[in-house]
Amino acid sequence: MTACGSARWVNPRADPSRIRRVLRAGTAIGVTAILGAGLTGCANGAALGLVRQACQHVTVSIKFYDAARNAPDAQRAAYDREQAQDQLQIASPLAAEAAGQEPQWQALMATLAENSRLPEANLVGALQDQCASVRNGGAPVPTLPSTTLPAAPTPG
């Protein structure tokens, strides 16, 4: 036997160690893609959880705000307004963190940031609308078109 006769030719495509490396690389890429998609979903879920917390505080704030408007005396009204402001202050950093994770919540963050500059009366409608989407799973709540019909022409 010659030295060449005992050696066998190996097809580089059929090299088992190369096949294992390719399979490991493919598996790693697949796992990375799946984890990336899953973590994105977690980030969206985490942002929605933060917004839900913020909107709970917004709801409590609006209840205090309404109570202040209907308070029997000035002292009680002042207390209720202070409680309403406190709730919005608690909600603000929650909304800011959610907006950092998911840009769709930036409007809520911005509205809450205006709390220190604008009276709550100017913010209530926007806050209610923005928090309504939370009850809808984060999807925008559709607004219905006006159902007001034009006035009928008068016989002339």
**Rounded mean pLDDT of the chain?**
78
Q: What is the CA radius of gyration of the chain?
A: 30
Residue 148 belongs to some domain of the structure? no
| Domains identified in the chain, total number | 1
| For range 43-51, the mean pLDDT | 84
Tokens in use for 53?
A: 């917390």
User: Does the pLDDT value for residue 63 go beyond 90?
Assistant: yes
The answer to whether residue 14 is domain-embedded is no
Q: How distant, in Å, are the alpha carbons of 106, 147, 148 from that of 144?
A: 24, 8, 12
% of the chain residues with pLDDT over 90: 53
Q: Does residue 35 have a pLDDT over 70?
A: no
* Range 118-136 average pLDDT: 89
Residues 36, 42, 44, 47: is their CA dihedral positive or negative? negative
Residue 80: other Cβ atoms inside 10 A? 19
- Report if residue 150 sits inside a domain: no
Q: Quick check: is 140 in a domain?
A: no
User: Is 100 part of any domain?
Assistant: yes
Domain annotation covers residue 2: no
Instruction: Tell me the average pLDDT across 20-27.
Output: 66
Is 101 inside a domain boundary?
Answer: yes
**Structural domain span for residue 116:** 22-135
In this structure, is residue 50 part of a structural domain? yes
Considering the entire predicted model, what is its pTM? Answer: 0.61
